[in-house]
Amino acid sequence: MLRTRSCVLLFLLFVLPLVLCDQGFPQAGVPPGYQLLTDPQMSGGLLITQRQGVTAATPLLRHGFTEVATFFDGRPRAMGGVRDASDQQAEAGFQATIQRAPVTGVVIATVGAGIGTVGFAFDSPQTIARTLPRLLQLVGGPAGSAAGSCAPPPAPDTWQTVGYPDGSGQLQLPPGWQVTGAHKGMVEAAGPHGAIYSAVWTTAVTPAGAAHIARSAPGFAPSTVYPVAEPTDPIVVLRAKWATSAAQREREGKPAMRLTRILEAAPQPVAPGLASVTLLVLEFEYERALYRGLVQLILGPPSMDGTYLYYESLGSTRTECFAQHLPTLVRILDSARTAGHVLRERIQGAAQSLREARDIWWQTTQNRNQAQDRMNTNWTEAFRGTRIVEDTRTGRWQDVDLAYSADTVRRLNEREGSPRYREIPLRDLNP
């Protein structure tokens, strides 16, 4: 389901004993003090070094761009970046060439205990989306380091397929993980590497749709229940959804996940019937701890009443463990499968909703047309200045002055002693 893209990902870099192999990279161009770490089973590499007496990450990162120019065909080109408030962690995307072959990747600088670490993870633009999670696995931490408190990656042969408790799907989980909730294809799971939820959907509404709802239900604030935002900007919609969810949980007396920043947003190919698909890397605070997550956000096109689909999957863990745990989270999310009967129910429900929306639209259009016709007819009758009075006994019609038609009918009926005569407005002749 989720596929990592070429986006800026923060990870803590510590050198591990790895096998160095020649994959066509210019070993002679490795800068002094740097190590080129590669894996014979995949492309790409990790160029990494450590410096003593470092107090800030940003200068270390900037200096790294200059130092690695001998490895690449000149200084890499930065593609935007972020840093934390204390400048102990900084990161950026970059593009470069190696022997005229284009590469792309991320550079990360971290500072701890006076030691600065900077690393450039890179691969070709065509394969970086696939290899970046595995490149991150080249990184780990010795016992007692910040990364040392993170759970080790699970062994590949220890994963098991687990069904959802309500029978609506299945996913693969490593040891220590368990499903904590599931409902009609939506699932939540947690374990030593973090937590995920997949296929969670809700209804969002445009500002115009929210205004209509508010007019139809006085005293009701749509933003307390629905994310209110235009679907043209996925980041704005995501912020609205997270703010709405946090407010709801606080009203219920429960801890809330509060979005602190969005580090990267990468648009993805859009399937027919959807408005947008976006991958985002974000940070959020939960119970005074900082977490980082990878989000897949899907938005549907707005319907006639301004509502649209909001569909989200998230894999998250503590910020300091994000790089090490990301491949595990991606594999879990990728393995989630919704049962066929649930998909059929969703399709049938969507079709029914579409039929209902069309019926509402048709009825609204008819009512609007009828109201317009009646208004036009009233103006025609007023301009003509006459109205028909009918003798209900004989069926004869007679035009009388519009200004006195009601009095004329009243006098005729008083003379007859019965409601023999009646007015027929022109609008009633053209229902």
| Mean pLDDT (whole number) for 147-169 | 82
Residue 376 falls inside a structural domain: yes
251, 397: one domain: no
Cβ proximity of 402 and 386 under 8 Å? yes
Q: Find the range with the poorest average confidence among 20-29, 196-205, 228-237, 296-305.
A: 20-29
Q: Find the range with the poorest average confidence among 49-53, 165-169, 313-317, 353-357.
A: 353-357
pLDDT confidence of residue 27 = 58
245, 390: one domain: no
Could you count the other beta carbons within 10 Å of the beta carbon of residue 47?
Answer: 24
By the 10 Å C-beta count (0-12 exposed, 13-18 middle, 19+ buried), 88 is classed as: middle
At 26, the pLDDT band (50, 70, 90 cuts) reads low
pLDDT by residue (tens digit) across 303-313?
888 889 898 99
pLDDT confidence of residue 402 = 67
Cβ proximity of 280 and 295 under 8 Å? yes
Long-range contact set of residues 343-350: C-beta below 8 Å, sequence gap at least 24 = 343/185, 345/184, 346/184, 346/185
169, 300: one domain: yes
163, 183: one domain: yes
Q: Over pLDDT 90: what percentage of the chain?
A: 23
Is residue 358 over pLDDT 50? no
130, 266: one domain: no
For residue 394, the enclosing domain spans 371-429
Is residue 20 over pLDDT 60? no
Report which of residues 324 and 229 the model is more confident about: 229
Is residue 6 over pLDDT 60? no
| Mean pLDDT (whole number) for 371-377 | 51
pLDDT confidence of residue 5 = 32
Find the angle CA(187)-CA(7)-CA(32) to the nearest 5 degrees: 130
Mean pLDDT rounded to a whole number for the chain: 78
281, 384: one domain: no
- Count how many domains the chain has: 3
At 28, the pLDDT band (50, 70, 90 cuts) reads low
